[in-house]
Structure 1
Amino acid sequence: MKTVATLALLAILAACGSSSEDEPAKPKLSAEKAAEQTCTEVNAGIEEFNQGDYAGTVTHFEKAKITAKVYAMVSDEPEADALLDAVQYYANLDPADYPEAARSSENFARNKAITLNQCADADDGTDGQKV
């Protein structure tokens, strides 16, 4: 799975060519679009977590790492870096460790607050307060 994520990131970055050799390469995704795509995967990962599918949770956070890296690269906002850190934490957490980490880890709690606040789904009426 990490190979697929790495290849996808490379594909995104390869598509970020510039029109002249004097201009630095810029990603094709805007900060807004990268954040949106990241949050789509984050919310899917949260849903998998809520259903007790921790392997599925990790899979979605692995996918979210790709666009979270682009988001952090194209945005000057510290929130982008915080979201990338949170996504990486959840993607790197072993599925078997999720239940205990959710109960007792300060890192889990801090990253939960970041992902819920930044990726709150206004359409579901919960304002990101998923359990």
Structure 2
Amino acid sequence: MKHSTTPQTRRGQGGPARRIGRSLALVLPVVLVLSGTLAVTRVNWSGNSSSSVLTASDTLSSRTAARAPQDVLRDQLVTELQEKNPGVALTHLQEAVNGHPSLAKHCVAIARALGQAAVRRYGPTKAQSYARPVCDTAFASGVMAANG
């Protein structure tokens, strides 16, 4: 038996099985990525059982419905002022501004709101006794605005 040293070529290298395999190799990753993406968007991440599919409009409306951090802080401090006293609320306002410098531009408005809430809760004389140099004199101007 004689063996040839020249490489032999196979006829029909592009048979149907090979073509199907190549097509699957190209299409399958795309299908898997798309199906995975769609599966993730259909998961109910919000915990709300009424709707399991989130749409772009739902996401946009939930962003606009979310409250600004300064509004949340103001409401927390007003509640704290009513439950404890204005001094505690002013201390926590100063700590919040020191911890989150982005709140500094809202400090005056929050302190003024605290001054007005203090007048409603404690009256003008007692509210003024809690005045501190937090956000300049905004608390005192809030007391004066609620008084006049």
Settle same-fold status: TM greater than 0.5.
no
Give the structure-1-normalised TM-score.
Answer: 0.30
Which one has a bigger Cα radius of gyration?
2
Give the structure-2-normalised TM-score.
Answer: 0.27
